[in-house]
Amino acid sequence: MEIWELGAKNIREQVLRKEISAQEVLDSFLARTAEVEPKIHAYIELIEPQARLDAARVDALIMRGEDPGPLAGLPVALKDNLNLKGVQCTCASRILEGYISPYDATAVKKLRKAGAVFTGKTNCDEFAMGSSTENSAFGVTRNPWDLQRVPGGSSGGSAAAVAAGMAPLSLGSDTGGSIRQPASFTGVCGLKPTYGRVSRYGLVAFGSSLDQIGPFGNSVWDCALALEAIAGEDPRDGTTSKRPVPRYTEGLKRPVKGLVAGVPREMMELVTDPGVRREFERALKIISDLGVTVVETSLPTTEYCLDVYYIIAPSEASSNLARFDGVRYGRRAKARDLDEMYYETRGQGFGIEVQRRIMLGTFALSAGYYDAYYLRAARIRTLVRRDFDKAFAAHDVLLSPTAPMVAFKIGERVDDPLAMYAADVLTVPVNLAGIPALSVPCGFSRPDESGPELPCGLQIMGKPYDEETVLALGYAFEEACSDWFVPKTAAMRKSLSSQEECEVVVRDTI
Amino acid sequence: MKIDVKHVADLARLKLSEDEMRRLEKDLESILLRMERLKALDVEGVEPTFGAGDVQRLVLDQDRPAPGLPREEVLKLAPSSEGPYVSVPREGTPGDAPQGSE
C-alpha cells in the first residue's frame, strides 16, 4: 500500500512515530498527483517547492524532538479563494490575474502552525459562485467517479483532490453549500462549521453573513482534526466566537444512542433523484439501528430558502466585489479615463455568472427595490432561523440528503442558472440559519443505467456550535458503512489510474 | 417584472456587450419571476436578520494604530504606481492616450 492510501490518521501517527518522514508523505501525494491530476484538473496551481520546505520544517521539528503540531506533516490543498502568503490567489477569476497574496488567511496560518504542508491552490467556481466548478477561468474540474461529470461546487477542486487521493485534507468555503454539495458529489466528508466558529480573515469575501471556511477529508475523523486546528476566536474577524474550541477528535466516540434526529418533510419533497432518496432512507435505517430516534419534522420555510439565498448572497456579493476595480491589485484594462477603467476592468475581468450575481444583487439593493427584495429576504431569513430554532428545541440533529441529485454531466446545467441553483436547495437553509452541517457519504445512485455508480451524501445539521454532536453521529454512521464504502472508493481510485488524460475545457463565457 | 439592465450595469460599473445585456436581462427576469413567490409570505412586523449564528452583537475593532503591510509590498501588487502612490488614469478627460497594464 502506498503512503497516500493510508488515510490521514495513520499517516500522522506514522510520522509522529518517525516511521516515515513528512517528506516521504509529500513525495507519495505528489507522485499520486502527477498520475491523476491530468485527468481531474483539481488544482489551479501546485506549489511543490514551498511544500518541500514546509515538509522539511516539520521533519526538522520531529528530529529535534519538538512537537510538529497535530497535523504533523499532512498535506493540505487550499481552495484558491484563501490567501496563502507568496502564492497567487485567483478565486478562479481573470480579474485577480497576477495577484500574489501578501499575507496568510487566519485558517491558513493556524494550519501551518499545526504542522500542515500546503500542496497548492485548488480550482473552484469564480469567486465561489457556482455549484459545479465550471465557472472557472482555469477550466473545468472533473469528478473522479466519472470524468464526464462535475465534482460539484464551488469548492470542486478541493473535493476532487481528496476524492482522487491527491491530498488527505483540503479546505473549502461554504456560502450556500460549496463544501457539502461537492463532498456529496465526490464521495468524501465535508464540514461547514457554525458561522463564527472559523475566522474568515483572508478568505476572499462572497456573502459575508453566510461564508464559512471548512475542511474536506476522507473520513469524519479527518474533518474533526482539521476543524480543531482552524477554529477559534480571531481579533481580525469580529464575527468569530469567543467560545472555547473543543477537542473534536476526542468527542467522536460520544454515544449517539438516545439522540433524536428530525427529518424535515419539506426537504424530502425537494429530492429529485429516486436513487438519492432510496440511499437516504437506507441511511435512516442504519441511524435508527445505532439507537437514534428518527422522526419526521417540519421546516415550513424550506421552499423559500433558495429564493431568499439568491437575493441575500448576490446582494452581499455585489458590495464585496466592488473592491475589484483595477486600482490596487489584479488586472487593469486599458482605458482613457478612470470611469472607463472601472467599466472595462470589471466587464472583462468577471465571468458571466459573477456578472449575473453582481447585477442581481445591485438590483435587489437599488433604490425602489431594496424593500421589496433585500429587506423582504432578510425578514424571511428570520422566519427560517425561527423554524430551525423550533426544530432544534425538539431534536438534537436534523437529517436530509446533502443534494437532491448526484453529480450531473459537464455542460448539463451551466447555461440555465435556475437549474444550477437548484443543486443548492438542501444546503442553503443551513447558511441562512448559520448552523453547522456535515456531509458524509451514504450510498450510491446510478442515474444512467449504463453509467457508473455515483456517490451521494447524508447531511447532518446541528445546533449552533454543536459540531461535536454532528461529528459524533457522522462518525458512528461512517463506522457502520465503512465495510462497503471504503472498498468502493479504493476501486474508483484504482480505475482512475488507467483512465486517459482529459483536456482542460475553459468555457467561452468565462 | 421588467428590469432596466443598462441602469443596473451602470450602478455596478460593468461594461457589457449588447449580447451580454440581452442574456442577463432574460436571466434576471426569469430569476425574479421565480422570486415573486416570496410575496406570498406575511412578514409584517418581522425583524430582518442581517447576521448569522449567535453573532448578533457586532464587535468593533479596538482601533489602535498598528503596522500594516509594508508599503513597497502593497505597491508591487498595484497595476501602476508612482513613488509612494498607486496611480490611475485621470478622471473624465477623454482623448488621453490609453493607460494601464495591458
Query: Would residue A67 be called left, alpha or beta, if left means φ above 0 and alpha means ψ between -120 and 50 degrees?
Result: beta
B41 has a chain A CB within 8 A of its CB:
yes
Cα A300 → chain centroid:
27
> Could you tell me the CATH number of the domain that includes residue B30?
1.10.20
Any CB–CB contact under 8 A between B38 and chain A? yes
A184 is catalytic: no
The residue segments making up the domain with residue B28 are 1-38
Total of domains in chain B: 1
* A-chain residue closest to B76, CA distance: A329
Q: Is the pLDDT of residue B101 over 60?
A: no
Instruction: Please state, in angstroms and rounded to a whole number, the distance separating the CA atoms of residues A142 and A508.
Output: 18
CA distance B64 to chain A (A): 12
- Cβ distance B13 to A335 less than 8 Å, yes or no, reads no
Q: What CA–CA distances, in Å, run from B81 to A186, B31, B70, B75, B87? A: 45, 42, 15, 7, 5
Q: Which residues are paired to A460 by β-bridges?
A: A399, A438
| A154 given a catalytic annotation | yes
Question: Nearest residue of B to residue A417 by CA position?
Answer: B27
Which pLDDT score is estimated for A238?
A: 87
CA triple B52-B53-B56, angle to 5 deg: 65
B14 falls within a domain: yes
Give residue-wise pLDDT tens across range A112-125. Answer: 999 999 999 999 99
Is the confidence metric ipTM above 0.90 for this complex?
yes
pLDDT in tens, A167-180: 999 999 999 999 99
> How do residues B28-60 score in pLDDT, each as one tens digit?
999 999 999 999 999 999 999 998 756 555 667
User: What chain B residue is nearest to A307 in terms of C-alpha separation?
Assistant: B35
Closest by Cβ to A385, choosing from B49, B62, B96? B49
In a domain, B49, yes or no: no
Q: What's the pLDDT score for residue A504? A: 86
In a domain, B76, yes or no: no
CA-based nearest distance B37→chain A, Å: 8
CB A212 within 8 A of CB A193: yes
Distance from CA of B68 to the nearest CA of A (A): 11
Q: How far apart are CA A230 and CA A271, in angstroms?
A: 33
Question: Band of the pLDDT at B66, cuts 50, 70, 90?
Answer: confident
Q: Would an 8 Å CB–CB cutoff place B2 in contact with chain A?
A: no
Cβ B35–A373 below 8 Å, yes or no? yes
Whether B12 is in a domain gets the answer yes
Return the exposure string of B22-39: e unless at least 16 CB atoms fall within 10 Å of the residue's CB, then b: ebbbebbeebbeebeebe
- Report DSSP letters for A448-485, one per residue: STTS--EEEEEEEEESTT-HHHHHHHHHHHHHHHHHHH
**Interface contact A379-B20, CB threshold 8 A:** no
> Is B78 part of any domain?
no
Instruction: Show contacts of B92-95: CB within 8 Å, 24+ apart.
Output: B92/A337, B92/A338, B92/A339, B93/A336, B93/A337, B94/A336, B94/A337, B95/A336
B51 within domain boundaries: no
A357 vs B contacts (CB less than 8 Å): none
Which domains, and CATH codes, for chain A? 7-302+378-497 (3.90.1300.10)
Residues of chain A short of pLDDT 70, as ranges, are 509-510
> Nearest residue of B to residue A383 by CA position?
B46
Kindly state whether residue B28 falls inside one of the protein's structural domains: yes
Contact B99 A432 (CB under 8 A): no
- What's residue B102's pLDDT? 44
Q: Is residue B16 part of a domain?
A: yes
Looking at residue A213, its pLDDT comes to 98
Cβ neighbors of A130 (< 8 A, separation 6 or more) are A124, A153, A154, A353, A420
Shortest CA gap A325–chain B (Å) = 9
Q: What angle do CA A162, A115, A240 make, to 5 degrees?
A: 85
The alpha-helical segments, DSSP class H, found in A207-301 are: 220-230, 265-268, 274-289
Pairing of strands B85-86, A437-445: unpaired
Quick check: A145 and A183 in contact, CB under 8 A?
A: no
**Residue A110 to residues A115, A199, A233, A268, B76: CA-CA distances in angstroms?**
9, 10, 12, 38, 26
- Check residue A510 and give its pLDDT: 65
Phi-psi region of A55 (alpha: psi -120 to 50; beta: other; left: phi over 0): alpha
A135 near A90, Cβ under 8 Å?
Answer: no
Radius of gyration of chain A (CA): 21
Phi, psi angles (nearest 5°) of residue B61: -70, 150
Higher pLDDT, A384 or B94: A384
Q: How far, in Å, are A309, A356, A387, B49 from residue A376 at the CA level?
A: 12, 21, 17, 10
- Minimal CA separation from B65 to chain A, in Å: 14
Name the DSSP class of A82. Answer: B
Query: What is the rounded CA–CA span in Å between residue A225 and residue B1?
Result: 49
Question: B36 touching A, CB under 8 A?
Answer: no
Q: How far apart are CA A194 and CA A435, in angstroms?
A: 5
Catalytic-role residue among A39, A79, A109, A121? A79
The answer to whether the Cβ–Cβ distance between A336 and B23 falls below 8 Å is no
Residue of B nearest to A419 (CA): B31
